Structure 1
Amino acid sequence: MKQFFILTFFLTCLSVQAQFRTVNGGFARGGNRGVDSLANDEISVKLLGKTKFTDYKVINIKRDTSYIDTTLTIQKEYQHNFRRKDNFELLAFHNQGQTFNSLGYNFRDLSQFPDIGFSAKQFNYLNISDIDYYRVPTPTTQIMYKTGQEQGQVLDAIFTFNLSKRLNLSFAYRGLRSLGQYRRSLSSSGNFRATATYSTPKDQYNLKTHLTTQDFTNEESGGLTPESLQNFINDDPNFTDRGRLDVNLDNAESLLDGTRFYLDHNFKLFDSKDSTNTKNFSNLKVGHQLHYEKKFFTFEQGAITPSIFGEASKANGELRESSDYRLINNQGYLEFNSKYVLGRFRVKANYTTVNYGYDTIYNSNVNNINITKKRLIGDAIGLGADWNGRIGNFKVNANAMVTPGSGHLAGNHLNGEAIYEKDSVFKVKASLLLLSKAPNFNQQFFQSVYNKYNWENDFTNIDTRNIGFSFNSKWGNASVDFTNIEDYVYFDTDSLPKQYNGSITYLKVKANKEFKFFKKFALDNTIMYQNVSSGSDVFRVPEFVTRNTLYYSDHWFKGNPLQVQIGATFKYFTNYRANAYNPLLGEFILQNDTEIGFPTLDVFFNAKVRRTRIFFKIDNISSNFLEKNYFSAPNYPYRDMSIRFGVVWNWFI
């Protein structure tokens, strides 16, 4: 299936390239912003005349519009990884494509529905909010490549084109495979996505849709054995080749697989130009959204290992355990603009079904639990509304959904934000989240041939309340989040899900400021302070996390054809009892034996030639002269020093 998608992708690229050409048969060229910072902001295009960099639009699910950006900034350095996101609040495992431990948490925007779980496997999973839509005057391609550890690389290719001003298609595939430096750390994943947007000539009908298929395969090592752990900490010269260190599991593998289809389309019944309309009520639309998603999680072993996971219902033989989850959400809505609501208002109704479970019963009577069912099935009807209002520079966005009942989908969701923006000088945002929903399904119901890993829980809903403030300006950026969680569900030190009967109070303060000096030098600083005033026995974060990047940036050679960026990034987080990783669950669990906290120093040399950005990086150069106390989780060392290369290349045909 992967090969089919890849072949289709490149054949489409070739066919469209044959149809669209620039006047001079070459690529767009130019100076310093947007689409290669186009000289005079325009390209000559045979079919479309003059185009500007602002014509190459990227539109997210919230309808916010940005532009394809080929500049080289320090943020591009932070985002040059397999997730294509800044990992400041995450602690990576040594090999790309593996999981992350959490240095901080974001509670501003959470889904209203419980998920399958196995959250340690979903850091690279693309959700609905991660899918972008495009509108471009000429076919556009971006290729991102980066090497990994020990025979590893990631390639992310995006291709989009408009067949007309009203119809856009895009195809993208991100493939990753990396062997890793330690035994049993192979990572292999694929993220395919395809999008389409369409509108009729008078915008009477609009459609937006996407399809994703994603799979993530990881060999599971269980971390280093006690003896190998000491050899690592003591920096034994016989084990500088990390492949010589023994691991707890030598026959285990996990797979998370997901498929999603999303459709949002609406029909305009009448607008302000209709003779039957008034200025008080315009653009009345009736619409429909469909969200279909299916996920599988599979854990395989060549042989049972009771020394790691405890006693099992069978003594030997291979193990293959798989659970699946299917969510279907149909939403109908009525939307209109009115001066009485200062903008756009939508009323909506959901009908949602969910189906989670197993195809068989692995362990029917264990731990005093008589497991007689294979699946959790439910449906629910929800009612809600959205509001997007604006007065001058002040905007308000809010959405609410109430799902009554007592099933797996019952709960309520309210998310709102108020934004004041003064041109490009500064922006102030206040946000509010009130959420009540059931825990993830693997916390409610789980099966395994391992006796300990079987449960049916009747947890109450988790109540989450978050108040956030953000300030972004040319002088610096800052944010404050205050979160309260009631009935929090977590995996305890025994790997069993528990519900906390107290209240968690979590404060996060984050600030960023870049200082420039001597014209060509800059110091970019990000610091985060966190405090858990109640509930710290089950919810743990480091008190301080800091990242400081000192770099030099300039244009070299006559005519400034080459922009360079040379620098070093120092990152440090204070000691805390980081969660341990459980490969059978695909989750992080509490542990009380080990504290983690260490500095890292990365050195980089980046360059930009026309629309190509080149990245050279030495990861964790500090590992050569600091103690071997750097861990991503107990028994899982962080990466040693490694040299990596990457490139991002754009074509505008």
Structure 2
Amino acid sequence: MKYFLVFLFLLSSITIQSQLRTVDGGFAGGRNRSIDSVAGNEISVILNGKTKYTDYKVFHYQKDTTYVDTTLNIKKEYKFNFRRKDNFELLAFQNQGQTFNTLGYNFRNITQFPDIGFRAKQFNYLTIRDIDYYQVPTPTTVIMYRTGQEQGQVLDALFTFNLSKRLNFSVAYRGLRSLGQYRRSLASTGNFRATMLYSTPKDQYNIKAHVTTQDFTNQENGGLTEASLQNFVNNDPNFTDRARLDVNLNDAENVFDGTRVYVDHNYKLFSSKDSANVKDFSNLKVGQVFYYEGKTYKFDQQNITTSFFGDASKTAGSVNETTNYTLLNNQAYLEFNSKYVLGRFRVKANYTTVDYGYDTIYNSNILVNKQRLKGNAVSLGADWNGRVGDFSVNASATVTPGSGYLAGNHFNGEAIYEKDSVFKVKGSVLLTSKAPNFNQQFFQSVYNTYNWENNFTNIDTRNIGVALNSKWGNASIDFTNIEDYVYFDTDNLPKQFGGSVVYLKAKVNKEFKFFRKFALDNTVMYQNVSSGSNVFRVPEFVTRNTLYYTDEWFKGKPLKVQIGATFKYFTKYRANAYNPLLAEFTLQNDTEIGYPTIDVFFNAKVRRTRIYFKVDNVTSGFSTKNYFSAPNHPYRDLSIRFGLVWNWFI
């Protein structure tokens, strides 16, 4: 392994890199490369004097565009994990690839239809919004590697190429396998995705499509036993090897699989060049969005464990339970540009079918009237994207009439004012009504407690948010009201709250730079639940403060380094408990969790390769053993991990 890493490090010095910038360039061809140094130890790419690094484009779900990014900054440090996302509002379990407890909630991007549920398994699930598309003048590879806990690693590799100026393909796979510090905490996951992006020479026809297959397997130990919990809290020297601590489950695991096919294509009936009145009505398109998504959850156990899950319909034997779910959505739309709507307007109609349930009845002791929940619905709606000067508006509305599992309505709107690169203000509104997730409506198991069929009413969610991004700092505030909130109670059963949950979240981020090479990056989040705090629980304050040093070393400045420490703290609250059979978090009233952690890191960059070295929870060796991710589930002890991100442009 060490010789392989040395080889990667040396090879990285002969390749090119690019920076994240605002898009304002076209696509150009060419293959002969010359590499020129520019300010900030970055490398620009000149291909035949025409193609620049800004031609390596990344297209996101909301149609905003960035470039392939090889910079080293503090935001990359926060995202260097197996999810490739900032985990500020999450509380990780001890092993990477496991689930997360929640420190804060985001209600700005709620989906239109209810999901299968099993939310503890979906933190690393890539949704439609997470899939990017590309356009590159030369084949491009991005590789991320990171060591695991005890044994294992995570590798995320992307390869994208253009067969022509307007046809791009990409293939990517993220694989993880990590043993963990405690018994029965092995995690093994995989995220495969493939994309296609194509348009005809005059943009008459456009299509983007992707396919994903994802699987997440976790051994489940149910947390520490009462005796082991005391040995951990008392810091018994006989149990510094965490594998010696007893756990509640020794033969259980759960698996979550997902497959999705997504296609969005349109044909332009006439464009601004051939329209009779281009100022009034132009670029008329007819299009279709089709996607199929299938998800499966499995819980397997070699032997019945009534001491942990309660009585069962059988006294011996294994447990093999499978819940499956499919959603098929077919949308037809008509889109045009007009001065009367200040931009783009789309009318749409959806036909959606859903199928959730089981192929057999698992429990003979419980009277179950059905095995599956099925439904179909027609939705009507419209999207609007308008702009006047520095002010823009985006809105989307959908109504699904009826009384079935898919009935409801969904409205999401935002208004944005952006003044150059000085500041941007965004206000957003979300109004949605939809049924709870299907596993809250219907569930069955050989364990008697875990069987129900509920007739819950729709959950109504209203969110108002304001966000400010500026060179002086960033801030956001969200006010959320939830009627008929559904949750898992202390008895592991889903319940519907009869009152209102009123939730306020405010977050501020500001970085201070001093002495030229030092910086202090601060993020503080305040939360308050003024109504419904007995069923909806979050810590009042969460803070993350990173003090770091940045410099360029050696003659010619070939090496950029970033050295620092991150302090994170959240106030005590009754964090939810984790249930491995449900793959959900449930309420509990016995334990409060809240503590500080300190992580130390050393990051470096040589041309297009970023190297990451990190020590997690450095104070765990001498601090009080009060750090938990959930009741009976300790957070990780001091651990050292290494990784890199490598961009390769052929």
TM-score relative to the length of structure 2 = 0.94
Distance 1:355 1:236, change over 3 A: same
Give the secondary-structure state (helix, strand or coil) at the position aligned to 1:523.
strand
Instruction: Kindly state the Cα deviation for residue 272 of structure 1 after the two structures are TM-superposed.
Output: 1.1
Query: Which amino acid letter does the alignment assign opposite residue 531 of structure 1?
Result: N
Instruction: Kindly state the Cα deviation for residue 630 of structure 1 after the two structures are TM-superposed.
Output: 0.2
1:353 maps to what in 2?
353
Kept in 2: contact 1:288–1:332 (CA 8 A): yes
CA–CA distance in structure 2, aligned partners of residues 23 and 63 of structure 1:
31
Instruction: Kindly state the Cα deviation for residue 152 of structure 1 after the two structures are TM-superposed.
Output: 1.9
1:213 maps to what in 2?
213
1:333 maps to what in 2?
333
The within-5 A match list for 1:603-622 is 603-622=600-619
Instruction: Kindly state the Cα deviation for residue 22 of structure 1 after the two structures are TM-superposed.
Output: 4.2
Kept in 2: contact 1:32–1:71 (CA 8 A): no
Q: Are residues 1:245 and 2:212 paired?
A: no
Instruction: Kindly state the Cα deviation for residue 37 of structure 1 after the two structures are TM-superposed.
Output: 3.5
Kept in 2: contact 1:270–1:277 (CA 8 A): no
The within-5 A match list for 1:153-552 is 153-274=153-274, 276-366=276-366, 370-552=367-549
Kept in 1: contact 2:181–2:242 (CA 8 A): yes
1:37 maps to what in 2?
42
Kept in 2: contact 1:114–1:438 (CA 8 A): yes
Instruction: Kindly state the Cα deviation for residue 291 of structure 1 after the two structures are TM-superposed.
Output: 1.1
Query: Which amino acid letter does the alignment assign opposite residue 76 of structure 1?
Result: K
2:573 maps to what in 1?
576
Kept in 1: contact 2:268–2:285 (CA 8 A): yes
1:645 maps to what in 2?
642
Give the secondary-structure state (helix, strand or coil) at the position aligned to 2:42.
coil
Structure 2: stretches of 5+ with no match in the other structure: 1-28
CA–CA distance in structure 1, aligned partners of residues 275 and 296 of structure 2:
53
Query: Which amino acid letter does the alignment assign opposite residue 542 of structure 2?
Result: V
CA–CA distance in structure 1, aligned partners of residues 217 and 279 of structure 2:
56
Give the secondary-structure state (helix, strand or coil) at the position aligned to 2:175.
strand
Query: Which amino acid letter does the alignment assign opposite residue 632 of structure 2?
Result: N
CA–CA distance in structure 2, aligned partners of residues 625 and 442 of structure 1:
43
Query: What do you get for the CA RMSD once the two structures are aligned?
Result: 1.2
CA–CA distance in structure 2, aligned partners of residues 128 and 652 of structure 1:
27
Instruction: Kindly state the Cα deviation for residue 372 of structure 1 after the two structures are TM-superposed.
Output: 2.4
Instruction: Kindly state the Cα deviation for residue 54 of structure 1 after the two structures are TM-superposed.
Output: 1.6
Kept in 1: contact 2:349–2:381 (CA 8 A): yes
Kept in 2: contact 1:364–1:372 (CA 8 A): no
CA–CA distance in structure 2, aligned partners of residues 189 and 121 of structure 1:
11
1:69 maps to what in 2?
69
CA–CA distance in structure 1, aligned partners of residues 32 and 208 of structure 2:
31
Give the secondary-structure state (helix, strand or coil) at the position aligned to 2:231.
helix
Instruction: Kindly state the Cα deviation for residue 137 of structure 1 after the two structures are TM-superposed.
Output: 1.1
CA–CA distance in structure 1, aligned partners of residues 542 and 275 of structure 2:
60
2:108 maps to what in 1?
108
CA–CA distance in structure 2, aligned partners of residues 128 and 122 of structure 1:
13
1:87 maps to what in 2?
87
Distance 1:364 1:651, change over 3 A: same
Aligned length: 622
CA–CA distance in structure 2, aligned partners of residues 608 and 587 of structure 1:
40
Kept in 1: contact 2:42–2:607 (CA 8 A): no
* 1:239-258: CA deviation from partner (whole Å, max 9, x where unpaired): 00000000000000100000
CA–CA distance in structure 2, aligned partners of residues 461 and 68 of structure 1:
42
Instruction: Kindly state the Cα deviation for residue 545 of structure 1 after the two structures are TM-superposed.
Output: 0.2
Structure 1: stretches of 5+ with no match in the other structure: 1-19
The one of 560, 565, 577 aligned to 1:563? 560
CA–CA distance in structure 2, aligned partners of residues 449 and 275 of structure 1:
65
Instruction: Kindly state the Cα deviation for residue 138 of structure 1 after the two structures are TM-superposed.
Output: 1.1
The one of 32, 46, 61 aligned to 1:23? 32
CA–CA distance in structure 2, aligned partners of residues 460 and 164 of structure 1:
51
Kept in 1: contact 2:467–2:476 (CA 8 A): yes
Instruction: Kindly state the Cα deviation for residue 32 of structure 1 after the two structures are TM-superposed.
Output: 5.3
CA–CA distance in structure 2, aligned partners of residues 44 and 344 of structure 1:
35
CA–CA distance in structure 2, aligned partners of residues 391 and 52 of structure 1:
31
Kept in 2: contact 1:37–1:53 (CA 8 A): no
* 1:79-107: CA deviation from partner (whole Å, max 9, x where unpaired): 00000000000000000000000000000
Kept in 1: contact 2:43–2:607 (CA 8 A): no
Instruction: Tell me the percent identity.
Output: 76
Query: Which amino acid letter does the alignment assign opposite residue 433 of structure 2?
Result: S
Instruction: Kindly state the Cα deviation for residue 30 of structure 1 after the two structures are TM-superposed.
Output: 3.6
Kept in 2: contact 1:185–1:220 (CA 8 A): yes
Distance 1:139 1:29, change over 3 A: farther
CA–CA distance in structure 2, aligned partners of residues 275 and 523 of structure 1:
55
CA–CA distance in structure 2, aligned partners of residues 389 and 515 of structure 1:
36
Query: Which amino acid letter does the alignment assign opposite residue 209 of structure 2?
Result: T
Kept in 1: contact 2:253–2:300 (CA 8 A): yes
Kept in 2: contact 1:30–1:610 (CA 8 A): no
Kept in 2: contact 1:213–1:258 (CA 8 A): yes
Instruction: Kindly state the Cα deviation for residue 276 of structure 1 after the two structures are TM-superposed.
Output: 3.4
Kept in 2: contact 1:121–1:216 (CA 8 A): yes
Give the secondary-structure state (helix, strand or coil) at the position aligned to 1:38.
strand
Give the secondary-structure state (helix, strand or coil) at the position aligned to 1:97.
coil
Give the secondary-structure state (helix, strand or coil) at the position aligned to 2:129.
helix
1:14 maps to what in 2?
none
Instruction: Kindly state the Cα deviation for residue 526 of structure 1 after the two structures are TM-superposed.
Output: 0.3
Query: Which amino acid letter does the alignment assign opposite residue 23 of structure 1?
Result: N
Instruction: Kindly state the Cα deviation for residue 635 of structure 1 after the two structures are TM-superposed.
Output: 0.2
Kept in 2: contact 1:365–1:371 (CA 8 A): no
2:15 maps to what in 1?
none
* 1:380-419: CA deviation from partner (whole Å, max 9, x where unpaired): 0000000000001101000000000000000000000000
* 1:596-651: CA deviation from partner (whole Å, max 9, x where unpaired): 00000000000000000000000000101210000000000000000000100001
Query: Which amino acid letter does the alignment assign opposite residue 180 of structure 1?
Result: G
Instruction: Kindly state the Cα deviation for residue 29 of structure 1 after the two structures are TM-superposed.
Output: 5.8
Kept in 1: contact 2:441–2:453 (CA 8 A): yes
The within-5 A match list for 1:124-163 is 124-163=124-163
Instruction: Kindly state the Cα deviation for residue 165 of structure 1 after the two structures are TM-superposed.
Output: 1.1
Moved more, 387-396 or 266-275: 266-275
Query: Which amino acid letter does the alignment assign opposite residue 232 of structure 2?
Result: F
Give the secondary-structure state (helix, strand or coil) at the position aligned to 2:414.
strand
TM-score relative to the length of structure 1 = 0.94
CA–CA distance in structure 2, aligned partners of residues 613 and 420 of structure 1:
35
Kept in 2: contact 1:222–1:248 (CA 8 A): yes
CA–CA distance in structure 2, aligned partners of residues 637 and 278 of structure 1:
64
Instruction: Kindly state the Cα deviation for residue 31 of structure 1 after the two structures are TM-superposed.
Output: 3.6
Give the secondary-structure state (helix, strand or coil) at the position aligned to 1:246.
coil
